[in-house]
Amino acid sequence: MLTLAKRILKSGWLNFRRQTNLSFAACLILVITVSLITFLFLSHKILNFALTEIKARADISVYFREDCPEKEISELKEKLTEFVEVEEVEYVSREEALESFIERHKEEKTLMDSLAELGFNPFLASLNIRASEANSYEKLANFLEGDDFSSFIEKVDFYKRKPVIERVFRITSFVDAAGIIISLVLVFLSVLLTFNTIRLTIANQKEEISIMRLVGASSWFVRGPFLIQGLICGILSFIISFIIVGLSFYFLSNEIDAFFPGVEIFSFFKNNLQNIVLIQFACGLGLGIIPGLVAIRKYLEV
C-alpha cells in the first residue's frame, strides 16, 4: 500500500514537472479564481459600508414648535424607537442645528451676515428618523401627523423627501442585487475555465491513461497522479493568492480608506485572517482536485 502511494505521488509530481506549460496555465487560472473569490468576499464589506452610508442619507425629520417641552420630545423619541421599522432616532436641539448650519456655511458671508442680522436662533429642535425600508417612512409620517402630536409638532418633511428616499432605496437594492449576480457569474466563469484547463491537461495524457488501463491499472491508480497534480496546483494557488491579496490590501488600504472613510479594509483583512485562509485553502484544493476527478471519468470505465 505504501509502495503504491509512493508511486502515485512520484508519478503525479513527474507529470506536473513534465507538463510545464499546462501546469503553469492550470496554476495561473486557479490563482486568478481563488484571488477573485477572496476579493469578492472582502469587497462585500466595502459594498455593505457604501450602501449603509447611502441609506443613512435617507431619513425624515420632525420639527417641533419653539415652546415644545423637552419632555414631550423625549417621550415621542421613546415611542418611535419601539417601532420595528425604525433603525435610529437622533435628537437635534436648536443650538446644535444652529452650530451645524454655521459650520457648513461659515465661508458664505451673505448667509452669515443674514443670520447675524436676525439676532436670534431661527432653527427648530428636531428628530431625525432613519428606517430600514422605504415604505416604512410613510407609516411613520402618518403616525407623526396624527392629532396626538399636532399641538407641539411644527412639521414632518416626509413628502418633501419622499422621491429622494425612494430613489436611494431603489439604487441600493439594485447595487446589492447586481453585486451578488456579478459575483456569481464571475465565480462560475472562473470555475468553468479552471475545469476546462484541467480537462485539457488530462486529455493531453489520454494515451498514457489508455495504456495504464490495458495493463490492468486500477481506476484509483490512474486517478492518483492527476489528483496529486491538482493538489500541487491547489496548494501553490493558495500560497500565491494569499500573498497577492494580502499585499494588494496592504498597499491599497490608504486609498480605499480615503474613498470610504471608516472602512479600514486592511484591519478587516487581519481580523478575518482565519476565514480568508480557510476560504482560499478550500477553494484552491477544491478547484484543483474536483475538476480532475470529474474530467478523468471520460477515460475510465466506472
Among 172, 65, 80, 82, residue whose Cα is nearest residue 128: 80
Answer yes or no: is pLDDT of 5 > 60. Answer: yes
Give me the sign of the Cα torsion angle 275, 277, 16, 36.
positive
Indicate the average pLDDT of the chain: 76
Mean pLDDT within 215-243? 78
| Percentage with pLDDT > 70 across the chain | 70
59-133: CATH number: 3.30.70.3040
> In this predicted structure, what is the pLDDT of residue 302?
43
Give me the sign of the Cα torsion angle 257, 261, 262, 263.
negative
> In this predicted structure, what is the pLDDT of residue 146?
78
pLDDT in tens, 118-174: 778 888 888 888 887 777 878 888 888 877 777 888 888 876 666 766 676 777 677
Q: Judge if pTM exceeds 0.75.
A: no
pLDDT in tens, 31-67: 888 888 787 777 766 666 666 666 666 678 888 888 8
> In this predicted structure, what is the pLDDT of residue 121?
82
Q: Where does the pLDDT of residue 4 fall: very low under 50, low under 70, confident under 90, or very high at 90 and above?
A: low
Mean pLDDT within 231-258? 82
For residues 10-25, one letter each, b for 16 or more C-beta atoms within 10 angstroms of the residue's C-beta and e for the rest, the string is ebbeebbeebeebbeb
User: Does 44 or 73 have the greater pLDDT score?
Assistant: 73
Q: Where does the pLDDT of residue 12 fall: very low under 50, low under 70, confident under 90, or very high at 90 and above?
A: low
Distance CA 51, CA 184 (A): 20
pLDDT in tens, 75-116: 888 888 888 888 888 888 888 888 888 888 788 878 787 778
> What does the domain layout of the chain look like in residue ranges?
2-54+170-299, 59-133
3-class DSSP state of 146: coil
> Which amino acid is located at 25 in the chain?
A
For cell 481506476, the residue is 219
